[in-house]
Amino acid sequence: MIVNTGAIALLNAQNAFLTSLIWGLFTNNFTITLTTVKTDLTAAAWTGYAVVSSLTFSTPVIVASKAVSYGTPNPMFGNSSGSSQTFYGWYCYTSGGDLVAAVNIGITSLANGGTYVLTPTLSDRDG
């Protein structure tokens, strides 16, 4: 069993890697599995959209028996295309293109002039 101090130490040790990740949105309705790779996902590409690569993660703390760390600033994805755009989820990957995490949140609309804000929270335990 990894104890609380160990869980915090592990998240702290991952901080440099986590701050190097690139965050984005995908537009295809893809079911994420353990074997999903970045090329399975279609990156958003409308006017006003850009990936985000400048997050830092807070010092981990224990919340509800889990070590957690919060990404800041929250990644924000804009839309200035002139019309509403749809996407299905978010993903993050390394500069080498290796997919680290992805979530299909279901079809989501982003109005022209709107912004979608992602709130990344990392934990050492599921649930």
DSSP secondary structure string, 62-127? EETTEEEEEEESPPEEE--SSS-EEEEEEEEE-TT--EEEEEEEEEEEE-TT-EEE---EEESS--
Q: Is residue 90 over pLDDT 80?
A: yes
Domain residue ranges of the chain, discontinuous segments joined by +: 4-123
Count of all residues that appear for the chain in the document: 127
Which pair of tokens denotes residue 93? 């990957």
pLDDT band at 116 (very low <50, low <70, confident <90, very high): very high
Q: What per-residue confidence (pLDDT) applies to 126?
A: 61
Q: What per-residue confidence (pLDDT) applies to 41?
A: 98
Q: Are 49 and 106 in contact (CB under 8 A)?
A: no
| Cα–Cα distance measured from residue 67 to residue 64, given in angstroms and rounded to the nearest whole number | 8
Mean pLDDT rounded to a whole number for the chain: 93
Q: Is residue 127 over pLDDT 60?
A: no
pLDDT tens profile 23-65: 999 999 999 999 999 999 999 999 999 999 978 888 899 988 8
